[in-house]
Amino acid sequence: MNHNSNFLLIGSLVVGSVVLGVGLLRHGHRENPKVSACGDTTPAYWYDPMVPQQRFDKPGKSPFMDMQLVPKCATTTEAHSGSAAPDAANAERKPLYWFDPMKPQQHFDKSGKSPFMDMQLVPKYSDDATGSAGAPAGSIAIDPRVVQNLGVRLGAVERGSFTRTVDTVGVVAVDEHRIEAIEVRQPGWVEELNVRAVGDSVRRGQRLAGVYAPDLLATQQELLIARNSGDPQLIEAARHRLALFGLSATQIAHIEKTGQAERRVDYFAPFDGYVMDLGARQGAAVAPGTVLFQLAALDSIWINAEVPETQAAWIKTGDPATAELPALPGERFQGQIDYLYPELMPTTRTLKVRVVIKNPGKRLRPGMFAAVHLRGATQDQVLTVPTEAVIKTGTRSVVIVADDATHFRPALVRVGAEHAGRSEILDGLSAGENVVASGQFLIDSEASLRGAFENLAGSNEPEHENAKPELMPAPSAQAPDGGG
C-alpha cells in the first residue's frame, strides 16, 4: 500500500512539471515575438542579390537563382514617410525595355521568360545606367565602397613630348666597310706563310706571307740598273712599275738603300683585325688576282635589326640607337642608325636596319644576339595615357573614362606608339580627362552583370531615340508575383 502511494505521488509531480514547462514556453513565445530583418520598419521591397534591379513586393524564392529573396530595408526618412512612397516611385518608373542578363544586347518589349536561358527577363530603366539623373550619359554608377574594393587607380590623359621608340632584336655582324683583301699581282709561289688559320688575330704591320714572283724580282733588278745609270727617268719608271705590282714606298726605299733585290716579296697586315678568309697555303702556286687573305677590323661593328613594317616610318638614318646583349648583361652600347635597306623582307614583313656601334674593346663579336632600341624624333603636344589603361580586344582599343569618383564610361580610342609606360592616343580622348589604369577589367565585369556597358559589345554611339526594341516571343511561363 505504501509503495502504491509513492508511485502516485511521483507521477503527479512529473505531470505537474510538464504542464508548468509548456505553460512557460507558450508564455515566452507570446512575450518574445520574432524580430523582423528590418526591425520595426517594413521592408521597402525584396530583391535577388544577383539581379538587384529586379524588385518584388513580398518575400519568397528568387525566379532567377536557387536562393531566397533579400529584404531591402527602408532608410529612416523612408520609414517616416511610410512605405507607400517607394511603391509609388516604383510604379512611376516605366521600363525602357526588358533584357536577359546573359545576353544584355538583346532587347524585348515586355516582360516574360527569356528565350535563351531558363530565367525571367529583367527590366531596364532610364536611370539604371547612370544611377542618377545628373550623371553623364552612357556612364555607369558604382558604389564608392565597390570602387575601393576593386582597387581602382586612375591615370591622367596628358599632352606633352613623346618619343616613338622601336624595340626589336638584331645580330652583331662585321662592319663591311672595314674588310680588306690582300692579293698578289704577279704569278709566283707562296714560300712562307706566317698566318695559317681562319680566325687568327693580326696586328697592324704584322708579316703575313712571303711570295716568290720571278717577274717582280726582275723589276727590282731593273730599278737597281736604273740607279747605277743615273738616269732619273728610268729610275722613276722602275719605281712606278714596282708600286703597280703592290710594293709599298717603304719596301721600294729599302731595296734602293740596300742595293739588293728581294727574292721574296713580303705582305703585311694593314690594320688590327682577324683573318676572315685564307686563300692559299704554304708552297701553293698563285696567279695574279689570287686573294691570299681577307681581313676584317672589329673597332666598329654592325647590328642588323629588323623593324616591323608598321613602325618603319618612325625612324630614319642618323637616329640614336641603344643595344643590350645577353652575353654582356647590365651594359648598354650606344650607336646610331647607319642605313635603312630599300626593300622589305616579304616573308616577315619587316625592314632591315643597320646600326653602327663603336667597339674599342673588341668585346662585341660577330654572331652575338642583341636587343635593340631605336629612338625616333621627339614630338611635342602628343596626347598620351598610361599603357596599362588600354584594353585591346584584337579589333579595337577601349579605355574606361572616369567622369567622377563613382561614374565610369567606355571610350573607343586609336592608339599609336608606346614608350616608357605611356601610349600615344590619336583619337577618342581629350587632355585633362582621367582614365582607369588599374581595375578596369573588374569595372567591366561589374557593369556587364548589370547590362550597363552595352556599347562595349557594339559601337560607342548612343542608340537612336526612335529605335524600337525587338518584339519578344510569347513567354513560356508567367512572371513571378511581384516581378517588374
Chain centroid offset of residue 426 CA: 18
Residue 82 lies in a domain: no
pLDDT at residue 479 greater than cutoff 80: no
Tell me what the mean pLDDT of segment 70-98 comes to.
59
Tell me what the mean pLDDT of segment 405-410 comes to.
85
Nearest CA to 351 among 310, 322, 317?
Answer: 310
pLDDT at residue 32 greater than cutoff 50: no
Whether residue 208 sits in one domain with residue 230? yes
Side chain identity, residue 140: I
pLDDT at residue 295 greater than cutoff 90: yes
Tell me what the mean pLDDT of segment 211-223 comes to.
88
Tell me what the mean pLDDT of segment 210-233 comes to.
87
Mean pLDDT across the chain: 79
Nearest CA to 59 among 77, 74, 47?
Answer: 47
Q: What is residue 24's predicted lDDT score, i.e. its pLDDT?
A: 53
Whether residue 242 sits in one domain with residue 199? yes
pLDDT band at 319 (very low <50, low <70, confident <90, very high): very high
Q: How far apart are CA 48 and CA 61, in angstroms?
A: 9
Which of 143-152, 336-345, 380-389 bottoms out in mean pLDDT, i.e. has the lowest?
143-152
pLDDT at residue 142 greater than cutoff 80: no
Nearest CA to 107 among 478, 481, 467?
Answer: 467
Residue 277, strand partner residues: 294
Residue 72 lies in a domain: no
Whether residue 321 sits in one domain with residue 187? no
Whether residue 283 sits in one domain with residue 185? yes
pLDDT band at 137 (very low <50, low <70, confident <90, very high): low
If one counts every other C-beta atom within 10 angstroms of the C-beta of residue 359, the result is: 18
Between residues 314 and 452, which one has the greater pLDDT? 314
> What are the cell numbers at 366?
660577330
pLDDT at residue 171 greater than cutoff 50: yes
Between residues 57 and 125, which one has the greater pLDDT? 57
Whether residue 248 sits in one domain with residue 315? no
Of 353, 379, 405, at which residue does a domain stop? Answer: 379
Whether residue 325 sits in one domain with residue 229? no
Residue 322: give its domain's CATH number.
Answer: 2.40.30.170
Domain of residue 207, residue span: 181-289
pLDDT at residue 27 greater than cutoff 60: no
Which of 224-233, 259-268, 444-453 bottoms out in mean pLDDT, i.e. has the lowest?
444-453
The rounded radius of gyration (Å) of the Cα atoms in the chain is 46
If one counts every other C-beta atom within 10 angstroms of the C-beta of residue 353, the result is: 25
Q: What is residue 457's predicted lDDT score, i.e. its pLDDT?
A: 43
Residue 317 lies in a domain: yes
Whether residue 281 sits in one domain with residue 191? yes
Whether residue 320 sits in one domain with residue 241? no
- Domain total of the chain: 3
Q: What is residue 472's predicted lDDT score, i.e. its pLDDT?
A: 38
Whether residue 333 sits in one domain with residue 285? no
Cα dihedral angle (219, 221, 224, 228), rounded to 10 degrees?
A: -120
Tell me what the mean pLDDT of segment 266-285 comes to.
92
Helix (H, G, I), strand (E, B) or coil at 337: strand
Whether residue 201 sits in one domain with residue 278? yes
Of 239, 258, 289, at which residue does a domain stop? Answer: 289
Residue 159, strand partner residues: 383
Which of 101-105, 220-224, 283-287, 295-299 bottoms out in mean pLDDT, i.e. has the lowest?
101-105
Whether residue 220 sits in one domain with residue 238? yes
Of 347, 379, 411, at which residue does a domain stop? Answer: 379
Which of 156-170, 174-188, 433-447 bottoms out in mean pLDDT, i.e. has the lowest?
433-447
Between residues 164 and 133, which one has the greater pLDDT? 164
pLDDT band at 33 (very low <50, low <70, confident <90, very high): very low
Q: How far apart are CA 350 and CA 359, in angstroms?
A: 27
Residue 431 lies in a domain: no
Tell me what the mean pLDDT of segment 12-24 comes to.
58
Which of 2-16, 184-198, 206-220 bottoms out in mean pLDDT, i.e. has the lowest?
2-16
Tell me what the mean pLDDT of segment 19-26 comes to.
55
Per-residue pLDDT of 237-265, as tens digits, reads: 888 888 888 888 888 888 888 888 888 88
Residue 344 lies in a domain: yes
Residue 132 lies in a domain: no
Whether residue 268 sits in one domain with residue 237? yes
Helix (H, G, I), strand (E, B) or coil at 335: strand
Between residues 42 and 235, which one has the greater pLDDT? 235
Residue 274 lies in a domain: yes
Chain centroid offset of residue 99 CA: 36
Q: What is residue 332's predicted lDDT score, i.e. its pLDDT?
A: 95
Query: Cα dist. 30→17, 24, 40, 157 in Å?
Result: 20, 10, 17, 66
Q: Label residue 205 exposed, middle or buried (CB < 10 Å: 0-12, 13-18, 19+).
A: exposed
pLDDT at residue 152 greater than cutoff 50: yes
Q: Which of 20-24, 179-183, 233-237, 415-419 has the highest mean pLDDT?
A: 179-183
pLDDT band at 438 (very low <50, low <70, confident <90, very high): confident
Q: What is residue 113's predicted lDDT score, i.e. its pLDDT?
A: 84
Residue 80 lies in a domain: no
pTM of the predicted model as reported, rounded to 2 decimal places: 0.58
